[in-house]
Amino acid sequence: MNPLGPTVEESWQNLLAGKSGIRPIFIFEASTFPTTFAAQVPDFDLSPYVRDAAAFEQAGRNVRFAMAAARMAIEDAGFAAHTGPYGGVLPRMAGGFDPARFGIYLGSGEGIVDFITLVTAIANGTRADNTVSTVGFAETALRQCNAMRELEQEPNMPANHLACEYGLEGPAYSCLTACAASTQAIGEAADLIRLGRADLMLAGGTHSMIHPLGVTGFNLLTAISTEPKAEPWRASRPFDRGRAGFVLGEGSTMLVLEELEHARARGAKIWGEIAGYGSSADAYRMTDIHPEGRGPAASMQMALEKAGLRPEEIDYISAHGTGTTENDKVETLAVKLVFGEYACKVPISSVKSQLGHLIAAAGATELMTCILAIRDQIVPATMNLDDPDPLCDLDYVPNTPRKTPVEVCMSNSFGFGGQNDSLVVRRFVP
């Protein structure tokens, strides 16, 4: 569920066709903002994916995306739906099913703030001297704000909704490490299974920050692109000399992770194997990546070691590749630190050039493109890479997808605050 399509296949085919999900903002009136474009999910009907679509009227876009993506993932994993003991839709499988062994781990962020209502409350509580009357504000806020909508601002709401919808009683976690969140969620969910604490985990990410507060915040940080407004699909230019910031995106990607023998016992379709996971912190600054690339290099090195692989065994790297000046340059340096002479030989690309930056959902979405690259033996391109930065001198697969042997991939996610996470996924060979 992302700006290029509601399903995995539609999104993947649009990605390979070079299409862009970046267009003028239609979710709210943005003509007066410095940034007037984003990568938005087109309107979709939630009703095919949930028991009661009306129950989600007050939910944020992040929750609705998560519900749709989860239903598609669960059905793809071979689970039929039926009414469970709590009125939810409980997965069913041959030989019985223990809901306490099926958990959830989501990368997520805050839901949308009830922005307009709060502004109205402030306006109605403003005195003649332009100070805000706390009495007037409270009266307006209590009268106009919706209790459930306020609750939906909490970042753990998507996981809670999913647990209720499917009757999942296993571990339920929400990971809040910004741009690295869903990569970390998947890595830690796989570890929970390896530790024997669950048989299955619904893992991934969901997020939407395309609202007035989100766009304003990133404009103030000078992190998102403000041009070219006439051709918004060209605004995301990872590794290009003219890159000027990332483009906000939104969406959700969910995967069902399962212990191998558990999956074999029920004859599950296996897309791939999570072979390695690495995580580190820059311990440097809140918004700037460490200029020496130590944190990203550490997460990549750890993921390789956990997978028991050498750098030259990686066939493709899905870069974090945001299109910000420092991030792309430092990621290039970090890859060189880890991969040495092989760094210039491994294909690398950033799908953010077409999808935008899905923030907490970015890592899971990019991992899914790695899995599809293995399936179809093709790697997606870095679009809009017309004038490569001399400091970004690796093989960034400019503008055209490439047919190439792909068996093992690495996916990188580096978040605000210095959180770095890397995953290695490979073809499952029985």
Q: pLDDT class for 248, splitting at 50, 70, 90?
A: very high
Closest C-alpha to 252, from 76, 78, 107, 53: 107
Q: Please count the other Cβ atoms lying within 10 Å of the Cβ belonging to residue 82.
A: 10
Closest C-alpha to 89, from 194, 166, 37, 142: 166
Q: pLDDT class for 416, splitting at 50, 70, 90?
A: confident
Q: What pLDDT does 144 receive? A: 56
Residue 413 corresponds to which tokens in the numbers above? 């996610």
d(C-alpha 85, C-alpha 16), whole Å = 43
pLDDT tens digits, 140-188: 555 555 656 666 677 788 999 999 898 899 999 999 999 999 999 999 9
- Determine the residue type at 325: T
pLDDT tens digits, 261-313: 999 988 889 999 999 999 999 988 877 788 899 999 999 999 999 999 999 99
Q: Is the pLDDT assigned to residue 125 strictly greater than 70? A: no
Q: For the chain, where do the domains classified as CATH 3.40.47.10 start and end?
A: 21-110+153-265, 273-426
Q: What pLDDT does 92 receive? A: 46
- Was domain 21-110+153-265 assigned CATH 3.50.50.60? no
Residue 71 corresponds to which tokens in the numbers above? 């239903």
126-135, 238-247, 283-292: least confident range: 126-135
Handedness of CA 74, 75, 80, 84 (dihedral sign): positive
Q: pLDDT class for 101, splitting at 50, 70, 90?
A: very high
Q: Is the pLDDT assigned to residue 97 strictly greater than 70? A: no
pLDDT tens digits, 54-63: 888 878 899 9
- Residue 353: exposure state from Cβ atoms within 10 A (0-12, 13-18, ≥19): buried
**What would the mean pLDDT of 43-68 be, rounded to a whole number?**
88
pLDDT tens digits, 13-26: 999 999 999 999 99
Residue 240 corresponds to which tokens in the numbers above? 């290009």
Element (H, E) at 423: strand 419-426
More confidently predicted of 417 and 345? 345
d(C-alpha 216, C-alpha 226), whole Å = 12
Q: What pLDDT does 81 receive? A: 55
Superfamily of structural domain 273-426:
Thiolase/Chalcone synthase (3.40.47.10)
**What would the mean pLDDT of 233-249 be, rounded to a whole number?**
95
Average pLDDT, the chain: 88
CB 15 within 8 A of CB 380: yes
User: Is the N-terminal amide bond of 228 cis, ω within 30° of 0?
Assistant: yes
Residue ranges of alpha helices (H) inside 77-133 are 115-124
Backbone angles phi, psi at 208, to 5 degrees: -150, 120
Residue 408 corresponds to which tokens in the numbers above? 């093992």
CB 410 within 8 A of CB 422: yes
Q: State how far Cα 9 lies from the chain centre.
A: 17
Rg, C-alpha atoms of the chain: 21
Q: Please count the other Cβ atoms lying within 10 Å of the Cβ belonging to residue 268.
A: 18
Q: pLDDT class for 128, splitting at 50, 70, 90?
A: low
- Determine the residue type at 323: G
Q: Please list the active-site residues.
A: 179, 320, 357
Q: What pLDDT does 102 receive? A: 94
**What would the mean pLDDT of 400-417 be, rounded to a whole number?**
96
